[in-house]
Amino acid sequence: MYENKEEYEAIVRRRLIALEWAVGHPIEHGAGGLCPRCGLSGNFDVEGLGFSRGNSIYFSTVYQEWRCRVCDYRTIH
Protein backbone atom coordinates (compact mmCIF):
# COMPACT_ATOMS: atom_id res chain seq x y z
CA MET A 1 0.00 0.00 0.00
CA TYR A 2 1.23 3.49 -0.82
CA GLU A 3 1.48 6.21 1.79
CA ASN A 4 -0.70 9.31 1.71
CA LYS A 5 0.69 12.85 1.45
CA GLU A 6 1.04 13.33 5.21
CA GLU A 7 2.76 9.98 5.65
CA TYR A 8 5.16 10.74 2.78
CA GLU A 9 6.02 14.14 4.26
CA ALA A 10 6.77 12.53 7.64
CA ILE A 11 9.04 9.96 5.97
CA VAL A 12 10.89 12.70 4.06
CA ARG A 13 11.37 14.78 7.24
CA ARG A 14 12.96 11.80 9.03
CA ARG A 15 15.14 10.88 6.06
CA LEU A 16 16.15 14.51 5.51
CA ILE A 17 17.48 14.76 9.07
CA ALA A 18 19.63 11.68 8.45
CA LEU A 19 20.86 13.02 5.10
CA GLU A 20 21.72 16.42 6.62
CA TRP A 21 23.67 14.69 9.37
CA ALA A 22 25.55 12.60 6.78
CA VAL A 23 26.51 15.58 4.60
CA GLY A 24 27.15 17.91 7.54
CA HIS A 25 24.87 20.79 6.59
CA PRO A 26 21.18 21.70 6.23
CA ILE A 27 19.42 20.98 2.94
CA GLU A 28 16.55 23.20 1.86
CA HIS A 29 13.94 22.65 -0.82
CA GLY A 30 15.35 23.71 -4.19
CA ALA A 31 18.95 23.78 -2.96
CA GLY A 32 21.58 22.51 -5.34
CA GLY A 33 23.55 19.43 -4.43
CA LEU A 34 24.72 16.00 -5.47
CA CYS A 35 22.51 12.96 -5.68
CA PRO A 36 23.46 10.64 -2.79
CA ARG A 37 22.92 7.61 -5.04
CA CYS A 38 24.78 8.51 -8.26
CA GLY A 39 26.63 11.75 -7.47
CA LEU A 40 25.14 13.83 -10.30
CA SER A 41 24.27 17.47 -9.73
CA GLY A 42 20.64 18.38 -9.13
CA ASN A 43 18.22 20.27 -6.91
CA PHE A 44 16.68 18.82 -3.78
CA ASP A 45 12.91 18.42 -3.90
CA VAL A 46 12.04 17.95 -0.24
CA GLU A 47 8.49 19.26 -0.65
CA GLY A 48 7.42 17.08 -3.57
CA LEU A 49 7.92 13.82 -5.37
CA GLY A 50 10.79 14.81 -7.63
CA PHE A 51 8.77 16.27 -10.48
CA SER A 52 10.17 19.80 -10.37
CA ARG A 53 12.23 21.11 -13.26
CA GLY A 54 15.69 19.84 -13.98
CA ASN A 55 17.34 16.92 -12.24
CA SER A 56 15.34 16.71 -9.03
CA ILE A 57 16.78 14.84 -6.06
CA TYR A 58 14.00 13.33 -3.96
CA PHE A 59 13.33 10.52 -1.49
CA SER A 60 11.83 7.44 -3.14
CA THR A 61 9.71 5.27 -0.87
CA VAL A 62 9.77 2.61 -3.59
CA TYR A 63 13.56 2.24 -3.41
CA GLN A 64 13.91 3.60 0.16
CA GLU A 65 16.68 5.99 -0.85
CA TRP A 66 17.46 9.49 -2.00
CA ARG A 67 17.78 9.44 -5.79
CA CYS A 68 17.44 11.75 -8.76
CA ARG A 69 15.51 11.72 -12.03
CA VAL A 70 18.61 10.48 -13.86
CA CYS A 71 18.68 7.47 -11.50
CA ASP A 72 15.04 6.84 -12.44
CA TYR A 73 15.84 7.10 -16.14
CA ARG A 74 18.73 4.66 -15.80
CA THR A 75 16.50 2.21 -13.92
CA ILE A 76 13.97 1.96 -16.73
CA HIS A 77 16.38 2.07 -19.69
Each residue's pLDDT tens digit, 4-59: 999 999 999 999 999 999 999 999 999 999 999 999 999 999 988 777 778 999 99
CB count within 10 Å of CB 7 equals 11
Instruction: Give pLDDT, residue 1.
Output: 58
DSSP H stretches of helix in the chain = 5-23, 69-76
pTM value is: 0.88
What H or E segment, with its residue span, contains residue 42?
A: strand 41-44
Q: What Å distances lie between residue 48 and 32, 41, 66, 77, CA to CA?
A: 15, 18, 13, 24
